[in-house]
Amino acid sequence: MNKTKVSRQDLTLLDEFEQDVKVVVGVLESSRKRTLKWREEFTKISLQFIPQRTCNDVIKIAESFRPVGEAIPKILRFLTVHRPEFKDRVEVGYSDIRKKIKEIVRICGQDPRNLPSDSGVMAEKAAECYGQICDLGRYIDKLSDNLRFCARTAREQQQLQKNGGQGDAESKEQPWDENNSDYMANSDAITTFTRGKMTLSALSKLLTPDGSICYMRKGQRARVHIGDFRDFASKKFVSDELANEIADEIFADREAKKEEMRRHKNKTGK
């Protein structure tokens, strides 16, 4: 059977957008693997050589980014027209990665002939390199998550339009953000608000773009908006008064932890 190669002219704008996202995410995933491998080998590298190894690895990541540089402008053009609320997130995310790469090369690049001999200086420099690589990994993860989210929700929006739904309505799915304190893990929400009377699969079925509960997804993981789930639970599992008390306790506990972290940071400078 002859296979006909599909040209970009034959693709819909959404198909082309998804292909561009796939290219970028593929490069990002490869780069992430390199940073993780660097971290695994960190303790095996002599301290004095860590900065140069770090610089070399990051330069290789930068060299692999050529397809990303070609695809990102097209992705941004699509988002400008079809999902403008996400354009800045992707643009800033890509910019953060490029800035971090340049920063790492500046900090870690050094003349191999002038390597430090003092163990304290070497350890301090190695720790700085480790922190920089961790930061780069987080930036890569964040951009990957946002791009996957944009591609998935754009396709869902198109499907809603085909099915006669409100395709331009705001989706309940939100970009993954581990640090958003307004959300909690599905399992925690079930335990806290329903006393275990609801299953994870039942909750998962409720989390749809046109549903009533805002949520985030990342692979098999999911988080729900505390306020939305409180409202849902108060109609099905607990009284409105108890649901409010539970939510207040959650937010109070989180604020207390934030304050404790702020005090620790002010005290230690870390």
C-alpha separations of 156 from 84, 166, 201, 235, 250 in Å? 16, 11, 20, 28, 32
The CATH code for residues 10-162 is: 1.20.120
Token pair 């009377």 in the structure block, residue: 197
The answer to whether the CB of 99 falls within 8 A of the CB of 136 is no
Closest CA to 75 of 142, 147, 27: 147
What are the φ/ψ torsions at residue 184 (nearest 5 degrees)?
-140, 160
- Residuewise pLDDT in 10s, the chain (270 residues): 333 343 444 458 888 999 999 999 999 999 999 999 999 998 888 888 888 889 999 999 999 999 999 999 999 999 998 888 889 989 999 999 999 999 999 888 765 556 556 777 788 888 889 999 999 999 999 999 889 888 888 887 777 666 655 544 567 888 888 888 889 999 999 999 998 889 999 999 999 888 889 999 888 889 999 999 999 999 889 888 888 889 888 888 888 887 887 777 777 655
CB half-sphere exposure, 131, CA atoms < 13 A: 9
How far, in Å, CA of 28 to CA of 30, rounded? 5
Rg (CA), the chain: 23
How far, in Å, CA of 127 to CA of 42, rounded? 10
Domain ranges (residues) in the chain: 10-162, 173-268
Full-prediction pTM beyond 0.85?
A: no
Residue 190 buriedness (CB in 10 A; 0-12 / 13-18 / 19+): buried
